[in-house]
């Protein structure tokens, strides 16, 4: 179970982080190289689920819950505002 959780967290960080780097380049006018790095990281995200020992459908369904938690944590860490933002 520990190995699976590690892969879930790694996949989540790759998905969120890679997407964020692309966002920075396209929406915030940052360097093209950030977008290129984001695309590479998103490619790694695509490969990480293949490391799971269980059937892809089961692993991907379980990953959804981990991704939600990581997304909320990312939003808190980046200071984003949403209904999930903790009061200061």
Cα 63 to Cα 24: distance, rounded to the nearest angstrom:
25
pTM above 0.85, yes or no: no
- Residue 16: name the closest of 83, 85, 66, 79 by CA: 66
Using alpha carbons only, how large is the chain's radius of gyration in Å? 14
pLDDT of residue 40: 97
pLDDT band at 9 (very low <50, low <70, confident <90, very high): confident
Domain boundaries, the chain: 2-78
pLDDT in tens, 33-77: 999 999 999 999 889 888 888 777 777 777 777 778 887 887 777
């Amino acid at each position: 179970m520990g190995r699976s959780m590690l892969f879930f967290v790694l996949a989540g960080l790759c998905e969120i982080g890679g997407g964020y780097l692309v966002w920075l380049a396209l929406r915030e006018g940052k360097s093209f190289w950030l977008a290129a790095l984001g695309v590479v990281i998103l490619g790694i995200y695509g490969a990480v689920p293949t490391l799971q020992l269980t059937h892809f459908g089961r692993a991907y369904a379980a990953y959804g819950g981990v991704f939600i938690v990581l997304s909320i944590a990312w939003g808190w860490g980046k200071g984003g505002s949403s209904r999930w933002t903790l009061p200061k």
